Chain A
Amino acid sequence: MAISTAAPSTTGTRVLAMGRAELILLGRNKMALYVALLLPVLMVWMMRRTIGEMDFGDSGMSLNEASLTGAFGFILLFVVYQNLVSAYVARREELVLKRLRTGEASDIEILGGTALPAVAIAVAQMVVLLVAGVCWLDLRAPARIDLMLIGLVFGLVLSIALAALTTAWAKTVESAQLVTTPLLLISLMGSGLIVPLETMPDVLGDVCGLLPLSPVVELVRGGWLGGLSAYKAVGHVATAVAWTVLAVFAVRRWFRWEPRR
């Protein structure tokens, strides 16, 4: 029965096929599109209004430097994390994930393919941020682009994994909006998105440095603006690795592929 001319499906064709379908769905879901495209911009604007008067003396950052590097965190939270929690829950409740699991795609391909449009939009927004920062807002060219990239890769993987994990607490797409709140709040306040960790009291800054998105923001910030010591960089990478391993393990343990009955 095997057809000799059969085009085999590969990880590439499968992830692209699922990603394309997911992009079509995103385009037809106005709310999700709004969250993905406008919310990060809105949040950065609000943040600049809020902290515009603040003195970044301790950190030595300008308002532009603090807000543009913090914006990477906003993108990870709203475009990737928030969006994907909704997407995964919606696909799970519609039994799409279960159906996909009967096919040739592996579990990780299914989660990755579903995440593809969100990741693509996030990466595009990050590129825009970088170009806008350097060309128009007088920021320097990235000092250590490698550290930025490491931070972003961990940031993307961690956001996807945390999104998958968060779906364990959501029964419906509506409650998906609710269960994302804790991580959103903790990250907004404690991971240096709005208030840089350097401006916090020492102990608080150290503790906040251990939050999931903190090492990501610190690596992006240090990679772009410079001034990150090798010792600190290794520490941030180690924290990011620890969170990623933990999150991936937790997804394998608790992620549900079909609705609870």
Chain B
Amino acid sequence: MDIGDSVIAVSGLRRRYGPEGDGGFEAVRGVSFTVGRGEVFALLGTNGAGKTSTVELLEGLERPSGGEVRILGHDPFVERAAVRPRIGVMLQEGGFPSDLTVAETVRMWAGCTTGARPTEEALGMVGLTDRRSVRIKQLSGGERRRLDLALALLGRPEVLFLDEPTTGLDPEARHNTWELVRRLREDGTTVLLTTHYLEEAEALADRLAIMRQGEVVASGAPDEVIGAYPSRIRFAMPVGWFVGDLPPLAELGVEGHEESGGRIELRTRTLQRTLTGLLVWAREKDVELEGLDARTASLEEAFLAIAGGGGPGADAGSGVSVGAAAGAGKGE
């Protein structure tokens, strides 16, 4: 693994809670990835997949039980003092004293932060300027997330860790946060984010990794990860017509098909060829394919298949490195 050029380099990372054996639980099981300067990297996974456990190790909050983390070339746990002034952190659940006002909280954090932005600038970035005199306990969940983001950005960090940054935000605030992340990336900030929202990963991430049960099971650019999954064509056969009446499916590039209640679903990696063949056949036979629906795989489908335990399957022909990123070899 090329640790030298990476802003974030993780190799064989493990995190265990509790004792060895059955009494404990290993939440992170040999995770490896790297993130280059100015990249936005998204960590996806279902609840309990080990995203937050991983990110907390990257932030230097705990010592890994195995493997290695390098942030800007330093061990974030051992060399905390060297790393912290250069990173910004937004925890999944951040905490602020409920009786402080927004401005008082920012001022406290500024005193703890090298090269802090002025309070007004920080609040302006997340649209909280008119809430400056409001106590934390009176903020909405979304406003707290934005305040948390403002504090993560306070020291103009080179590396930003965002653990579910838009959970609880309304659509407009979420969109503003996305814009903010894009601007930061243009300025050269490296961003590692975790998210439940697949459209968020699709919109922001240069690269992503999907975690399942503590392991990275797929990684790459969003297009690559999606590309490992076949496109789908769905339609209903007219009465009196059957699947067997279609031209030979293998010749159309169909990898598999399902039929239920007269509705057919074809899976293919050559969507245009399959679709053309199907439509030409339908015109020749003068058949109406009702409810015709053809679509490429979405990140959501890829995610559901991967996170749910499927994976693109043994016959996956395309070039995405599924499973290869998980340093410890998986027996898949």
Contact = CB atoms under 8 A, between A and B. Distances in A.
Interface of A: 1-3, 5-9, 13-14, 16-18, 20-21, 24-25, 28-29, 90-91, 94-106
Interface stretch (B78-86, B228-236, B274-282): B78-86
A94 B105 CA distance: 14
B95 A99 contact: yes
Contact of B112 (A5, A6, A9, A24): A9
B115 A25 contact: no
Given A9-B85, A24-B104, A3 B115 contact: yes
Instruction: Kindly name the residue among A3, A6, A91, A103 whose own CB sees the greatest number of chain B CB atoms within 10 A.
Output: A103
Interface in B134-178: 148, 155-158
Given A17-B107, A21-B97, A102 B112 contact: no
A3 B156 contact: yes
A6 B154 CA distance: 12
Interface in B35-63: 59, 61
Sort A-B residue pairs by CB-CB distance and give the 5 closest, nearest first: A17-B111, A6-B115, A95-B95, A102-B89, A21-B108
A26 to B, nearest CB: 10
Contacts of A103: 84, 89, 109, 112-113
B99 to A, nearest CB: 5
A35 B81 CA distance: 36
B165 to A, nearest CB: 14
Interface string B182-204: 00000111000000000000000
Given A21-B104, A99-B91, A102-B61, A94 B114 contact: no
Nearest to A90: B97
B321 interface: no
Instruction: Kindly name the residue among B98, B99, B157 whose own CB sees the greatest number of chain A CB atoms within 10 A.
Output: B99
B59 A102 contact: yes
Contact of B94 (A6, A95, A105, A106): A95
A28 B157 CA distance: 33
Contact of B85 (A8, A21, A29, A102): A8
28 contacts: A1-B157, A2-B86, A2-B158, A3-B156, A6-B115, A9-B112, A9-B113, A14-B111, A16-B111, A17-B109, A17-B112, A18-B111, A21-B104, A21-B105, A21-B108, A29-B99, A91-B97, A94-B98, A95-B95, A97-B95, A98-B91, A102-B59, A103-B84, A103-B109, A103-B112, A103-B113, A104-B113, A106-B81
B96 A96 contact: yes
Contacts of B86: 2
A7 B115 contact: yes
Instruction: Kindly name the residue among B95, B108, B112 whose own CB sees the greatest number of chain A CB atoms within 10 A.
Output: B112
Contacts of A13: 111-112
Given A103-B109, A104-B84, A8 B115 contact: yes
Given A91-B97, A103-B113, 14 more contacts: A1-B187, A6-B115, A9-B113, A13-B111, A17-B112, A24-B100, A95-B91, A98-B61, A99-B95, A102-B84, A102-B89, A103-B89, A103-B112, A104-B113
Interface of B: 59, 61, 80-81, 84-86, 89, 91, 93-100, 104-105, 107-116, 148, 155-158, 187-189
Contacts, number: 104
A171 B157 CA distance: 34
Contacts of A29: 99
A28 B59 CA distance: 33
Contacts of A28: 99
Contact of B61 (A14, A25, A94, A101): A101
Instruction: Kindly name the residue among A20, A91, A99 whose own CB sees the greatest number of chain B CB atoms within 10 A.
Output: A99
B156 A96 contact: no
A70 B95 CA distance: 39
B5 to A, nearest CB: 16
A94 B136 CA distance: 11
B89 A7 contact: no
A112 B291 CA distance: 68
A96 B99 CA distance: 12
A8 B114 contact: yes
A7 B116 contact: yes
Contacts of B93: 95
Contacts of A91: 95, 97
B163 to A, nearest CB: 10
B236 to A, nearest CB: 50
Nearest to A98: B95
Contacts of A98: 61, 91, 94-95
A17 B110 contact: yes
B95 A18 contact: no
Contacts of B94: 95, 98-99
B112 A100 contact: yes
B56 to A, nearest CB: 9
A6 B114 contact: yes
Given A18-B108, A98-B91, A103-B109, A25 B99 contact: yes
Given A99-B91, A99-B96, A17 B115 contact: no
